[in-house]
């Protein structure tokens, strides 16, 4: 195993490819390039296992786990997730949709996982495939030249202080997640002007779950200030989070975060019922704010940006891990092209950039409208004229890069959305006016 717990204790600070970040994107591309014989280093700033939110996977993740050879390990730590439950305060009945009803019936389920377990699993897999997988390495500075990149790394030591190392690499991959190393370096990170949300979240024991086969389903519950996720995990804990407008979080003033979280849960009666008697694990509540962003580009002559290092919008459709891993697969091919066939790299970059834009763009259309009354009705009472329900479920399953012919039906669904919105024009205008007010940037909305 090539993992170094003290991190970066290497005699040779050179490599073909240096990957910054040991999460799903970085571990995926690291494993793939190592399998192909590349001298690849994957640097993780923390030490696994480390906490991370984003525990709900998509069915399309399964084929990526298969290609990495880790599906059985994921099955062992995951809670099967067959579909989604939607709960709206404006509807008397709950809505249930299952991935088995998507256009492609071969991806009927996914998993809910503890990210600390899954991320470590993928990181160790990269090491087992031959990557130099290093922990406790925080990249501080990057400089590019005609031959590659020089990277300044701050390294944890066993004594608690830090040392500095200088690495040389032919190619740099940014999989640093929301640290957005290269987007910050190039000044190309932009707040998303059409989406501005914040989140607070924690884990509970003793939550009331769905029964039987539905126990592992994710539940999305709308409330006045946004929506909640309810994600059951295999160890009996349940991840609960509120995604809401920043001005709502600003309203907590100096109230302790756990108390404010409980007050927020009380605004959603169905969630409050499910958490009656539940205990917040370690009394820990986390908050993050104004997190929707994208970069102007995802690649350059000697670098790529993967997953959240390029863009992040909203967790409502659980697309983050899938988009990150998919970018790792596509990125591995682009890196090989850059190293072995430089004249072909320009076209490889165009393909990679197109792929990186595609996922966030397709999910974003629905994310921007998920709180709109018309879209909420579509989720609460899904119909299947011209296979629009099957196409929507395919998108929710992550089946957006293959050959499944969903896009005609997706366009029909969008047209239906606009027609229904026009037919309820007053309601639509009220909703969009409220959204415009809600997405205002509020400084200091999260402490």
Q: Give CA–CA dist 187/181, Å, rounded.
A: 10
412 is written with which tokens?
Answer: 């029909």
Measure CA 408 to chain center: 26
Q: State residue 393's pLDDT score.
A: 97
* 436 band by pLDDT with thresholds 50, 70 and 90: confident
Domain boundaries, the chain: 1-78+113-190+293-363, 80-112+196-291+369-447
How many C-beta atoms surround the C-beta of residue 339 within 10 A? Answer: 15
Q: Give CA–CA dist 274/316, Å, rounded.
A: 20
From the list 443, 364, 446, 381, the residue with the least C-alpha distance to 416 is 381
Read off the pLDDT of residues 284-304 as tens digits, 9 standing for 90 and up: 999 887 678 999 999 999 999
Of 114 and 197, the one with more pLDDT = 114
Angle value at C-alpha 237, between 236 and 240, nearest 5 degrees:
145
387: region left, alpha or beta (phi > 0 left; psi from -120 to 50 alpha): left
Please name the fold of domain 80-112+196-291+369-447.
D-Amino Acid Oxidase; Chain A, domain 2 (3.30.9)
Least confident of 56-70, 104-118, 125-139, 311-325: 311-325
Q: Give CA–CA dist 57/321, Å, rounded.
A: 7
Within 13 A of 3's CA, how many CA atoms are on the CB side? 21
Read off the pLDDT of residues 347-399 as tens digits, 9 standing for 90 and up: 999 999 999 999 999 999 998 888 889 999 999 999 999 999 999 999 999 99
Q: State residue 419's pLDDT score.
A: 96
**What homologous superfamily is domain 1-78+113-190+293-363 in, according to CATH?**
FAD/NAD(P)-binding domain (3.50.50.60)
From the list 322, 417, 328, 332, the residue with the least C-alpha distance to 363 is 322
Read off the pLDDT of residues 152-176 as tens digits, 9 standing for 90 and up: 999 986 656 778 999 999 999 999 9
| pTM for the model | 0.93
From the list 98, 75, 77, the residue with the least C-alpha distance to 397 is 98
The reply to whether omega before 173 is within 30° of 0 (cis) is: no
How many C-beta atoms surround the C-beta of residue 353 within 10 A? Answer: 17
Report strand pairing: 286-288 vs 198-205. antiparallel
Mean of pLDDT values over 194-210? 90
């Amino acid at each position: 195993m090539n993992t170094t717990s003290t991190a970066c204790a290497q005699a040779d600070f050179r490599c073909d490819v240096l990957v910054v970040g040991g999460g799903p994107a970085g571990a995926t591309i690291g494993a793939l390039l190592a399998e192909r014989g590349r001298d690849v280093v994957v640097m993780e700033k923390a030490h696994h296992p480390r906490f991370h939110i984003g525990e709900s996977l998509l069915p399309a993740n399964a084929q990526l786990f298969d290609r990495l050879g880790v599906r059985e390990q994921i099955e062992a730590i995951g809670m099967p997730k067959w579909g989604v439950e939607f709960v709206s305060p404006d509807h008397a009945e709950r809505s249930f949709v299952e991935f088995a009803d998507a256009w492609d019936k071969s991806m009927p389920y996914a998993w809910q996982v503890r990210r600390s377990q899954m991320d470590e699993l993928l990181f160790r897999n990269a090491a087992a495939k031959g990557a130099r997988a290093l922990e406790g390495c925080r990249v501080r500075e990057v400089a590019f030249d005609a031959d590659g990149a020089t990277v300044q790394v701050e390294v944890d030591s066993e004594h608690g202080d830090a040392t500095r190392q200088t690495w040389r690499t032919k190619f740099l991959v940014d999989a640093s997640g929301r640290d957005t190393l290269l987007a910050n370096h190039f000044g190309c990170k932009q707040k998303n002007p059409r989406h501005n949300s914040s989140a607070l979240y924690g884990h509970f024991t003793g939550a009331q779950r769905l029964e039987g086969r539905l126990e592992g389903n994710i539940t999305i519950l709308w409330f006045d200030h946004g929506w909640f996720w309810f994600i059951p995990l295999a160890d009996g804990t349940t991840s609960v989070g509120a995604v809401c407008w920043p001005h709502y979080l600003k309203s907590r003033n100096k109230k302790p975060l756990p108390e404010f979280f409980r007050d927020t849960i009380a605004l959603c009666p169905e969630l409050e019922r499910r958490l009656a008697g539940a205990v917040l694990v370690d009394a820990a509540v986390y908050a993050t704010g104004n997190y929707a962003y994208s970069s102007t580009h995802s690649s350059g002559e000697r670098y790529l940006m993967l997953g959240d290092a390029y863009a992040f919008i909203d967790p409502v459709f659980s697309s983050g891990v899938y988009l990150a891993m998919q970018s790792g697969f596509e990125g591995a091919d682009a890196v090989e092209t850059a190293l072995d066939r430089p004249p072909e790299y320009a076209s490889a970059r165009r393909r990679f950039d197109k792929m990186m834009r595609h996922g966030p763009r397709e999910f974003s259309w629905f994310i921007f409208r998920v709180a709109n009354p018309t879209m909420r009705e579509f989720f609460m009472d899904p119909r299947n004229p011209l296979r629009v329900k099957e196409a929507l479920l395919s998108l929710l399953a992550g089946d957006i890069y293959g050959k499944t012919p969903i896009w005609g039906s997706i366009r029909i669904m969008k047209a239906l959305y606009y027609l229904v919105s026009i037919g309820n024009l007053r309601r639509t205008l009220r909703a969009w006016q409220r959204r415009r007010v809600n997405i205002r940037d509020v400084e200091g909305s999260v402490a």
